[in-house]
């Protein structure tokens, strides 16, 4: 099946392997390349400016701060070229230590200070009218929300696209962890393709701006990466030096993996914190098969709740589509996400951006606020919905319990999903072998470098494994509309001192196709705290609370709800070696005999957010 058109662009963006920028009508603009903006410590950040052709007088500016090479970002969003034609200036800046900018790169450090200095410089220019908005997706969206937290007086508005990585939720920094399990595929993949600290520098004594104006785009800016070699090394142990074995230039990856999910290192990063306040209205965008939709929803709420101004408190808006990371323009009348058809998912993203900037930056009366604050795509029903609160009114948690008679191992077992707990205490068991982990197929991630990294895919083959417990409802006799956050409560034990438990929610179509909807995981050593680990006593029963994050999906009449429970989802999630050791620096492992309790006082279940009215 055809995947979303933006999927290739998403992958290339994340891996810094961008093709030449999309062609733009250069009769509308003139470029001033590699302008060096000084920071307070003397480091210069290289910035490309685009002005309306033959510009005169003062104008507002839209700022994009990127890690992905400013020279290859300009054509990514056609709305930017249109805005230049309407009298805006556009600035695209390489952040500190990246590509043409000076200084050393360290992910998530010092971005507020550099952003403030950039805004101060811009507003001192003769062409500036003192008004700045921000733009961009992924890391560029992350940069926007971090800069918004400075409350710089020049900032007027922002359009953060897929910015979830900019929010600090404990244990979810940069979405590099899920329930204390390291998100190996996307985190290592991003560092392999985009995390280099090594960039070509001008010869000593040569002006930085002049050098890159002459040579920019003609020289190799960072050592090439053999990504195929990296993907091969990813299958081997130990995790900690996978990038070194693949010949990747120095990155921060090793520090990220060694740190505890909610440890001091992650807490020190320059991310949006829960006590940050905001002065500007923002238009957020995300999608259900992205890794950070839940965190984007949390930021949307925080910008309102912690608003310093009436505009910030009243005018936060959000759009969540059905796609994958940064897929805002890939929808068609027959949209497919991964392999999952979701119907006509088109949305006026382009015009909405134009209207949003023109309203807040120019005071244009275009009706952009005459809409509900949240627009979201309800998969299954395959239609857009709107609301002014999240979750929407009438959503209540509905528990579905796991049950079996002979055992829920694989979809050939008799695992059942029931709306009430069985009275008799029972259990299902499986053996988790780190040498043969359950493979990843689609889901909520990006930047792994694989063709099936994100989106909905048929899980039927995976469900044939005996180390996957499969629980399926009877065919539904009425539609079940689910929208909001999903949680599972498992009661488990293991023969190991530490192991993982994974949960995947699946929509089974009448023909048996089983599309993944959401998923979550828990590393048992982090069951009580994502900051401090606590190993298990083998054989002892523990509660395991697993966050499956947020989505919107209607299970249609005739469909069945299915839940898969296992102990691995590899290589998206780092496999637990079950030893109780550091895991990241180990090369040996043991098998774990894992047990899920069913029925009685410790009945395991999943709670689905069901809209009842």
pLDDT digits (tens, 9 = 90+) for 23-37: 566 778 999 999 999
pLDDT at 216: 86
| Spatial contact of 421 and 490, defined as CB atoms under 8 Å apart | no
- Give the gyration radius of the chain's Cα atoms: 24
Residue 476 DSSP label: P
Angle between helices 111-123 and 139-148 in degrees, nearest 10:
80
Cα end-to-end span (Å), the chain: 35
Which of 49, 66, 201, 37 minimizes the C-alpha distance to 135?
Answer: 66
Q: Nearest 5 degrees, angle CA 395-CA 397-CA 399? A: 145
Mean pLDDT of 503-532: 98
| Domain 395-611 = CATH 2.60.120.260 | yes
- Whether 7-168+269-387 shares its CATH topology with 395-611 is answered no
In terms of C-beta density within 10 A (0-12 exposed, 13-18 middle, 19 or more buried), how is residue 388 classed? exposed
Tell me which H or E stretch contains 253. Answer: helix 253-258
CA dihedral 117, 163, 521, 481 (to 10 degrees): 160
Q: What percent of the chain has pLDDT over 90?
A: 94
Q: For residue 110, what are the CA distances in angstroms to 63, 221, 501, 503?
A: 18, 23, 36, 37
Q: For residue 39, what are the CA distances in angstroms to 125, 198, 393?
A: 15, 20, 47
| Spatial contact of 342 and 335, defined as CB atoms under 8 Å apart | yes
How far out from the chain centre does Cα 221 lie?
27
| Spatial contact of 126 and 164, defined as CB atoms under 8 Å apart | no
pLDDT at 11: 38
Neighbours of 512 (CB within 10 A): 10
Cis peptide before 571 (omega within 30 of 0): yes
How far out from the chain centre does Cα 427 lie?
35
Q: What is the mean pLDDT of the chain?
A: 94
pLDDT at 19: 34
Domain 7-168+269-387 homologous superfamily, CATH: Alpha/Beta hydrolase fold, catalytic domain (3.40.50.1820)
140 CB-near residues (< 8 Å, 6+ apart): 64, 65, 66, 68, 73, 161
Which of 574, 586, 265 minimizes the C-alpha distance to 445?
Answer: 574
| Spatial contact of 573 and 453, defined as CB atoms under 8 Å apart | no
Sign for the CA dihedral angle at 265, 268, 269, 274 comes to: positive
Q: How far apart are CA 394 and CA 609, in angstroms?
A: 10
| Spatial contact of 573 and 183, defined as CB atoms under 8 Å apart | yes
Is 346's pLDDT higher than 60?
yes
**246, two tokens:** 């693949």
Tell me which H or E stretch contains 119. Answer: helix 111-123
Provide the 3-class DSSP secondary structure of residue 146. helix
Query: For 517-558, what is the HEC assignment?
Result: EEEEEEEHHHCCCCCCCCCCCCCCCEEEEEEEEEEEEEECCC
Q: How far apart are CA 14 and CA 446, in angstroms?
A: 7
Give exposure, 203-241, as e/b (b: 16+ Cβ within 10 Å).
eeeeebbebbbeebeeeebbeebebeebbebbeebbbbb
Which of 130, 93, 128 minimizes the C-alpha distance to 111?
Answer: 93
Residue 220 DSSP label: -
Q: Nearest 5 degrees, angle CA 356-CA 322-CA 289? A: 110
| Spatial contact of 445 and 612, defined as CB atoms under 8 Å apart | no
In terms of C-beta density within 10 A (0-12 exposed, 13-18 middle, 19 or more buried), how is residue 19 classed? exposed
Sign for the CA dihedral angle at 257, 262, 268, 272 comes to: positive
Q: For residue 247, what are the CA distances in angstroms to 193, 255, 483?
A: 12, 17, 44
270 CB-near residues (< 8 Å, 6+ apart): 108, 109, 110, 111, 112, 146
The single residue listed with the structure tokens 């000076």 is: 102
Domain spans of the chain, in order of start: 7-168+269-387, 395-611
Q: What percent of the chain has pLDDT over 70?
A: 96
pLDDT at 24: 61
Query: For 363-404, what is the HEC assignment?
Result: CCCCCCCCCCCEEEEEECCCEEEEECCCCCCCEEEEEEEEEC
pLDDT at 16: 36
| Spatial contact of 536 and 607, defined as CB atoms under 8 Å apart | no
Residue 12 confidence class, pLDDT cut points 50, 70, 90: very low
Provide the 3-class DSSP secondary structure of residue 33. strand
pLDDT at 232: 96
Is 124's pLDDT higher than 90?
yes
Q: How many CA atoms lie within 13 A of 599 on its CB side?
A: 12
| Spatial contact of 287 and 162, defined as CB atoms under 8 Å apart | yes
Residue 329 confidence class, pLDDT cut points 50, 70, 90: confident
How far out from the chain centre does Cα 196 lie?
20
pLDDT at 4: 34
pLDDT at 613: 75
pLDDT at 27: 77
Residue 173 DSSP label: G
How far out from the chain centre does Cα 569 lie?
17
């Amino acid at each position: 099946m055809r995947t979303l058109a933006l999927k290739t662009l998403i992958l290339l963006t994340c891996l810094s392997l961008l093709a030449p920028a999309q062609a733009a009508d250069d009769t509308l603009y003139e470029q001033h390349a590699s302008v060096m903006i000084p920071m307070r410590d003397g480091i210069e950040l290289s910035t490309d400016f685009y002005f309306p052709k033959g510009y005169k007088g003062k104008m507002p500016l839209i700022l994009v701060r990127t890690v992905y090479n400013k020279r290859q970002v300009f054509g990514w969003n056609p709305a930017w070229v249109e805005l230049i034609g309407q009298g805006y200036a556009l600035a695209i800046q390489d952040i500190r230590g990246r590509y043409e900018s000076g200084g050393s790169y360290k992910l998530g450090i010092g971005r507020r200070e550099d952003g403030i200095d950039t805004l101060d410089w811009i507003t001192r220019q003769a062409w500036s009218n003192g008004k700045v908005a921000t733009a961009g997706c992924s890391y560029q969206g992350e940069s926007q929300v971090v800069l918004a937290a400075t409350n710089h007086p020049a900032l007027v508005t922002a359009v953060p696209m897929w910015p979830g990585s900019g929010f600090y939720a404990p244990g979810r920094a940069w979405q590099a962890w899920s329930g204390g399990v390291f998100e190996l595929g996307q985190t290592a993949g991003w560092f392999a393709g985009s995390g280099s600290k090594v960039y070509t520098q001008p010869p000593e004594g040569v002006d930085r701006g002049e050098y890159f104006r002459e040579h920019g785009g003609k020289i190799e800016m960072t050592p090439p990466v053999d990504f195929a070699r990296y993907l091969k090394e990813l299958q081997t142990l130990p995790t900690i030096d996978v990038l070194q074995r693949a010949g990747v230039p120095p990155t921060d990856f090793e520090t990220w993996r060694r740190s505890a999910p909610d440890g001091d290192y992650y807490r020190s990063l320059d991310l949006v914190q829960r006590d940050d306040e905001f002065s500007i209205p923002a238009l957020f965008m995300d999608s259900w098969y992205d890794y950070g939709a839940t965190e984007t929803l949390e930021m949307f709420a925080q910008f309102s709740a912690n608003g310093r101004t009436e505009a910030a408190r009243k005018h936060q808006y959000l759009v969540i589509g059905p796609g994958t990371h940064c897929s805002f323009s890939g929808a068609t009348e027959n949209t497919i996400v991964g392999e999952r058809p979701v119907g006509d998912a088109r949305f006026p993203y382009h015009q909405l951006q134009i209207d949003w900037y023109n309203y807040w930056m120019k005071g244009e009366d275009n009706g952009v606020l005459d809409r509900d604050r949240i627009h979201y795509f309800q998969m299954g029903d395959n239609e857009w919905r709107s609301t002014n609160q999240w979750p929407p009114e009438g959503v209540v948690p509905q528990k579905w319990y796991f049950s079996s008679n002979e055992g829920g191992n694989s979809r050939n077992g008799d695992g059942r999903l029931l709306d009430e707990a069985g009275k008799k205490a029972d259990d299902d068991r499986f053996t988790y072998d780190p040498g043969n982990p359950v493979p990843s197929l689609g889901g909520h991630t990006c930047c792994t470098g694989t063709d099936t990294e994100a989106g909905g895919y048929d899980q039927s083959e995976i469900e044939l494994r005996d180390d996957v417990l499969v629980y399926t409802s009877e065919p539904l006799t009425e539609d079940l509309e689910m929208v909001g956050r999903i949680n599972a409560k498992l009661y488990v034990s293991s023969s190991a001192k530490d192991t993982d438990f994974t949960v995947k929610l699946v929509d089974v179509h009448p023909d048996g196709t089983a599309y993944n909807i959401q998923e979550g995981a828990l590393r048992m050593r982090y069951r009580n705290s994502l900051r401090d680990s606590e190993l298990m006593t083998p054989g002892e029963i523990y509660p395991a609370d697993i966050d499956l994050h947020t989505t919107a999906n209607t299970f249609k009449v005739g469909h069945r709800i299915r839940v898969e429970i296992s102990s691995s989802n590899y290589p998206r999630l780092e496999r637990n070696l079950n030893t109780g050791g550091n895991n990241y620096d180990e090369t040996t492992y043991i098998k774990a005999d894992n047990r899920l309790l069913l029925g009685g006082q410790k009945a395991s279940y999943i709670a689905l957010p069901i809209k009842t009215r």
